[in-house]
Amino acid sequence: MEERRILDWEALYREQDVEEMPWFTPELDHDFADALKSLKIRSGYVLDLGTGSGTQAIALAELGFDVVASDISESAVRKAEARSKTKGSNIRFVKDDILATTLKGPFDIIFDRGIFHVFPPEKRNAYVQSIGGLLRKGGFLILKCFSDKEPPGEGPYRISEAEIRRSFVPAFQVLDIRASFFKGVRQPNPHALFCILQK
């Protein structure tokens, strides 16, 4: 498998306008919104993993969720926190590396919109163990990643359905894996896999 270039997330968020980043979207991801409806979840303790611009965390807080939002970049955390203050949101923002997390759960839901797919195969088991340690029994990981249907090129690893199952089963039960896309600045919208996994 081709090795991916490791981005300097701190430099990226320090130097760029988040609204110009390829993955920026001002509203709650359409798949996340649909998942909450289908699972009939209206409240709970939520981790927005890799919060970036903070828009997903803000949207979740506006729906009534108790939200913790983490990112490996301190600049991302500061910018997201500033954005949330303009919205009057009560969100706890934390600088954290999910592979060496200092967060404390248990969370009812963890949202991952584009973190899992940045890790090379040899780091995915550490990710799964970390997520499992933060979720309560019966809690949900709602995950969106680049799909293997996305043409080769720069950016995240392309992930197949088989790789999702290989990575997460038996620690998680796979409730849904389906083809989707990332809405954002980049056109055309990148192909994605949308996954609902339960601990």
Residue 4 predicted with pLDDT over 70: no
Residue 3 predicted with pLDDT over 60: no
What are the φ and ψ backbone dihedral angles of 119, each rounded to 5 degrees? -90, 135
* 6 within domain boundaries: no
Helix residue ranges per DSSP H, the chain: 9-15, 30-39, 55-62, 74-87, 121-134, 161-168
pLDDT tens, position by position, 134-193: 999 999 999 999 999 999 888 899 999 999 999 999 999 999 999 999 987 778 889 999
Range of the domain at 107: 21-188
Q: What region does 186 belong to: left with phi over 0, alpha with psi -120 to 50, or beta?
A: beta
pLDDT tens, position by position, 32-90: 999 999 999 999 999 999 999 999 999 999 999 999 999 999 999 999 999 998 887 88
Helix axes 74-87, 55-62, angle to 10 degrees: 40
* Prediction pTM value: 0.92
Total domains, the chain: 1
* 5 within domain boundaries: no
Cα–Cα dist 15/172, whole Å: 37
> Could you tell me the CATH number of the domain that includes residue 67?
3.40.50.150
